[in-house]
Amino acid sequence: MNKIVAVDDEKMVTSAFKTLFKVEGYSDVHLFNNPKEAIEFLKLEKPDLIISDFIMPEMNGLEFLREAKKLYPEVSMILLTGYADKENAIKAINEIGLYKYIEKPWDNDDLILNIKNGIERSHLLENLRNKIQELEEAKTQLQKYSTDLEKIVAERTKDLSEANLKLTGIINYCADGIVIVDGQGNILQVNPACENMIGLSENSLCKMKFQEIAYSKNQDSNSSKDNKSGGIFGLGEDNSEVLLRDYFIVNNLSKIHTPVEISFASISNDDNMNIDKYVGVIRDVSVQKETEKLRDDFIATLTHDMRTPLLAAIQTLKFFLEGAIGSLDEKQKVLLSTMLQSNEDLLGLVNALLEVYRFDSGKLELCKTVFPVRDLIEQCYNELLSIAQKKGINFNVEYELEDDLCILADRGEIKRVITNLCGNALNYTAKDGQVDILAKAQNGDFIFSVSDNGSGIPQEDIPNLFMRFSQGTTRKRSTGTGLGLYLSRQIIEAHNGKIWVDSKLGKGSEFSFLLTNVVAEGRIKERQVSNG
């Protein structure tokens, strides 16, 4: 609603205004015959238009409008004047900045048109003032932001410079070699330690690929992420860190082949989602390898030398039990039998340690033959049947292969794996439990599985099952060396096969292994074949 203030000392004029405004639909109209009263009203109420007569007692129209202008600079003001005062009215417009002057007597249509335009002008000027005020505030805020931004940029620049100096120091004085490569293996940057390790300058190395300075003797198992490998460094889809083991760096000056471990990780780039750069940390593990070799050699020598007295003790105890020195009473037999069992367990541990050494040192050579695999499984089954019968375990074997099917493998080592997996299943299955063997052949592959309804294995323990000295549980330690599954894995992988386990806590476990392309053509008797 538009508010209009009109001032004229003649009541007849204000009465005419009242009638005119009512006819034109203006309801918020305030009429005054005294300009001073109008000033007091304006101090409390803001109008949209002010109309004033020129000649008035106590305060003329120019003085009134000048005071009103101080209160509301944007409000449009119309001065009513007689013809004789036309010159003064024009002067007032220039001095005060009035919107219009209208001569008396006025034309109603012309007056109403000027009132409408004046009100619209007031609104436009008010909006303009508000926009200017907003712009001034925005300008002030922008100046503040600009000042703060300059301060923040200066602080960040200082922090980045300090961080860059620290990073440069770490890279240049790091004892490990550091190399940055792209997705194709092209070397982009190296640190001084890497230069010394390889015997070439950074300029020379940046013209080479990483594959030219590092190699692995065991390409099949050099990555800690073999199952997720992708790209030249084995980085998976998540581009997380990958550790390359059993690698060697060749020094171009000394020709020394240094054993190393290389940890590669992707370099993230916020501006480019296609990651194509990787940083690798190259660590010399010569001392570690030498220490491991000395330790393994010591264990191998010690366990090998223990075999002779153990075999002698076992044979002597057997002679006693067989009555070589005369008849024995029941207590003596129990005592000697216990001693015999303990010595045989110790001999088993010694043999297991020797087997671990043979595998880890690469001294094991598989003696592959073509043999009927069902006969081997039956032999293992019969040897373990008495253990199952003592515990009341339902021990079954099922075949999904031809009776005379033969495979090409190391018979003795595969027997060791089958015996170990089945023995574990019987050992960890409670009385009156169930253990099932399944052997099958398909597409030239041989698959062996043994399942039980024992206590099962916690999911967090499964990744450690096939590691050395692991017994498959973090809850309690059971008897045994913890080497059986480790040796089984080594044997199966030496055959280029795969071994795994599926287990649910409280429901049982299923251990399986797969030998690929081992089913022999034809049905031939066991014979030795070349290792090629």
Q: Can you give the pLDDT at residue 220?
A: 46
Q: Which of 239-248, 417-426, 484-493 has the lowest mean pLDDT?
A: 239-248
Residue 523 and residue 379 in one domain: yes
Q: Which of 234-248, 250-264, 491-505, 511-525 has the lowest mean pLDDT?
A: 234-248
Residue 523 within a domain: yes
Indicate if the pLDDT at residue 372 is higher than 80: yes
With beta carbons less than 8 A apart as the criterion, state whether 242 and 225 touch.
Answer: yes
Indicate if the pLDDT at residue 70 is higher than 70: yes
Q: Can you give the pLDDT at residue 369?
A: 92
**Alpha-carbon gap, residue 92 to 64, rounded angstroms:** 12
The alpha-helical segments, DSSP class H, found in 262-410 are 286-321, 330-360, 373-391
Indicate if the pLDDT at residue 408 is higher than 70: yes
The model's confidence at residue 228, banded by pLDDT at 50, 70 and 90, is very low
The mean predicted confidence, pLDDT, of the chain is 82
Boundary residue ending a domain (251, 284, 317): 284
Residue 336 and residue 378 in one domain: no
The residues pairing with 445 across neighbouring beta strands, listed in sequence order, are 442
Burial (CB < 10 A; 0-12, 13-18, 19+), residue 440, is middle
Q: Looking at residue 223, which CATH number applies to its domain? A: 3.30.450.20
Count of domains for the chain: 4
Lookup result for tokens 């990787």: 278
**Alpha-carbon gap, residue 262 to 235, rounded angstroms:** 13
Phi, psi of 474 (to 5 degrees): -100, 0
Residue 20 and residue 73 in one domain: yes
Smallest CA-to-CA distance from 51 within 2, 84, 91 is with 2
State percent of the chain over pLDDT 70.
85
Residue 503 within a domain: yes
The residues pairing with 499 across neighbouring beta strands, listed in sequence order, are 513
Q: Looking at residue 521, which CATH number applies to its domain? A: 3.30.565.10
Indicate if the pLDDT at residue 480 is higher than 50: no
The model's confidence at residue 379, banded by pLDDT at 50, 70 and 90, is very high
- The arithmetic mean of pLDDT across residues 427-437, rounded, is 90
Residue 505 within a domain: yes
The model's confidence at residue 236, banded by pLDDT at 50, 70 and 90, is very low
With beta carbons less than 8 A apart as the criterion, state whether 5 and 42 touch.
Answer: yes
Q: Can you give the pLDDT at residue 478?
A: 44
Boundary residue ending a domain (112, 128, 144): 128
**Better-scored residue on pLDDT, 101 or 497:** 497
Q: Which value, in Å, is the radius of gyration of the alpha carbons in the chain? A: 50
Residue 354 and residue 257 in one domain: no
Indicate if the pLDDT at residue 107 is higher than 80: yes
Q: Can you give the pLDDT at residue 361?
A: 62
Helix (H), strand (E), coil (C) string for 437-456: EEEEEECCEEEEEEEECCCC
Residue 280 and residue 308 in one domain: no
Boundary residue ending a domain (256, 284, 312): 284
Residue 229 and residue 341 in one domain: no
Residue 336 and residue 373 in one domain: no
Indicate if the pLDDT at residue 303 is higher than 60: yes
Residue 147 within a domain: no
The model's confidence at residue 469, banded by pLDDT at 50, 70 and 90, is low
Indicate if the pLDDT at residue 238 is higher than 60: no
The model's confidence at residue 398, banded by pLDDT at 50, 70 and 90, is very high
The model's confidence at residue 272, banded by pLDDT at 50, 70 and 90, is low
Residue 510 and residue 404 in one domain: yes
Residue 322 and residue 398 in one domain: no
pTM of the model: 0.45
Smallest CA-to-CA distance from 353 within 311, 312, 301, 308 is with 301
Cis peptide preceding 259, ω within 30 of 0 = no
- The arithmetic mean of pLDDT across residues 142-165, rounded, is 85
Domain of 184, in residue numbers: 175-284
Residue 133 within a domain: no
Residue 353: how many other CB atoms lie within 10 Å: 19
Residue 440 within a domain: yes
The set of long-range contacts for 285-294, using a CB threshold of 8 Å and a minimum separation of 24, is 285/259, 285/260, 285/261, 286/258, 286/259, 289/259
Burial (CB < 10 A; 0-12, 13-18, 19+), residue 153, is exposed
Residue 353 and residue 372 in one domain: no
Phi, psi of 361 (to 5 degrees): -85, -5
Q: What is the pLDDT of residues 244-269, one digit of tens each?
A: 888 898 888 888 888 898 888 887 66
Residue 140 within a domain: no
**Alpha-carbon gap, residue 317 to 320, rounded angstroms:** 5
Residue 380 and residue 512 in one domain: yes
User: What SS3 state is found at 27?
Assistant: coil
Residue 94 within a domain: yes
Residue 426 and residue 453 in one domain: yes
Q: Can you give the pLDDT at residue 165?
A: 83
The model's confidence at residue 37, banded by pLDDT at 50, 70 and 90, is very high
**Alpha-carbon gap, residue 532 to 130, rounded angstroms:** 92
Lookup result for tokens 């083991």: 245
